[in-house]
Amino acid sequence: MHSTANISSTTRARTLAGLACAALFVLPERPAAALSCDGPAWEDEWAMPGSLRNPDAEFPVDAQFWELRGCAYDFVAPSGCRLERGDDVIPVAVEVDGGEHCNVEPSYVGGENFPDAIVRYVPERSLIPNRTYVLACDANGPAVNDEQGQYTVVRSRLDPTPAAAPGSLDDIALEFKRGDDGCCQAISYLELQLDHVQPWLQEGGYVEVLYDDGQVFAVREPEVWTTRIEMPPTKGGLEFTPVAADGTRGETRRFDRGDYHRELIYTPCAVIGDTSPLALWLSAPLLWIGTLGRRRRRAAGGAS
């Protein structure tokens, strides 16, 4: 008959590995960003993607402009917009995608619900090559982007060639990254792998993301601070559509729930948080075996 003192290090290692794997698979699959205390990028208005953030960007003469706006509360679409350059004024139509999910009850926001709208600014005619314009609106226009903090500047490139056609999304990859409810309450997110140096994206295009519940999102390039493309999570499917700088839409690619990798990470905070009782029972022997190993090492050290 074996006592606890006779449990070999190999046996402990095997038991630890088995219990850790078992606990991993009974952890709850929470809705919704990385294992840090920072909030998700899509909650920060200043970090919202769009083609108007860089005043030095040069666009094709037939370009449209766009921005992603959080629209959960008090969202009103821009109105009375135009491109101005001296006496040359180009009327600009405003089109909103996803607006039907805006202005919701506060209790609705959170988890998988982060209502956004894609606001598109569509000039009535093409821009003159190699010109600088000011995009102005009577109300609710885009954020200013010039150094003086006064205007929203857009520039047309010298080359009069129209915008590049939207590219293929055959090579994109999607992965669910698990967050944590226990310590920092960092939410999970979807990470998109995308070749963001393609011409149609560099010119001001984007990838429209349509969730099964009708909510929309837009991505273009990795976020500056994380170097990742992060998106709100979902328990359903979602569709990706490339949109060129001139508004031309490409072929849609769909991901159902089982079509992308779901990361499984064991963290103490996840076990301590709102989790399965079975996971807690499985984690208890891990602590007991670890304590036993430390006691044996101390005893061996005292006897030597």
Give per-10-residue mean pLDDT for the chain (304 aa). Answer: 51 54 43 45 67 95 96 92 95 95 74 82 97 98 94 97 96 84 66 93 96 92 78 90 98 91 55 46 51 49 49
Task: Look at residue 235 in the predicted model and tell me its pLDDT.
Answer: 84
Which residue range forms the structural domain that includes residue 248?
Answer: 41-262
Q: Contact 209/216 with Cβ under 8 angstroms? A: yes
Flag whether 223 is in a domain. Answer: yes
**Burial class of residue 225, CB neighbours in 10 A (0-12, 13-18, 19+):** exposed
Total number of domains in the chain: 1
Flag whether 294 is in a domain. Answer: no
Task: Look at residue 108 in the predicted model and tell me its pLDDT.
Answer: 65
Flag whether 91 is in a domain. Answer: yes
- DSSP lists the bridge partners of residue 50 as 67
**Nearest alpha-carbon partner for 262 in 173, 185, 181, 194:** 173
- Pairwise CA distance, residues 122 & 269, whole Å: 47
Task: Look at residue 114 in the predicted model and tell me its pLDDT.
Answer: 74
Flag whether 6 is in a domain. Answer: no
Flag whether 126 is in a domain. Answer: yes
Task: Look at residue 234 in the predicted model and tell me its pLDDT.
Answer: 87
**Nearest alpha-carbon partner for 193 in 171, 169, 207, 173:** 173
Task: Look at residue 227 in the predicted model and tell me its pLDDT.
Answer: 74
> Structure pTM?
0.73
94: alpha, beta or left? (left if phi > 0; alpha if psi -120 to 50): beta
Task: Look at residue 49 in the predicted model and tell me its pLDDT.
Answer: 85
Flag whether 10 is in a domain. Answer: no
DSSP state of 277: H
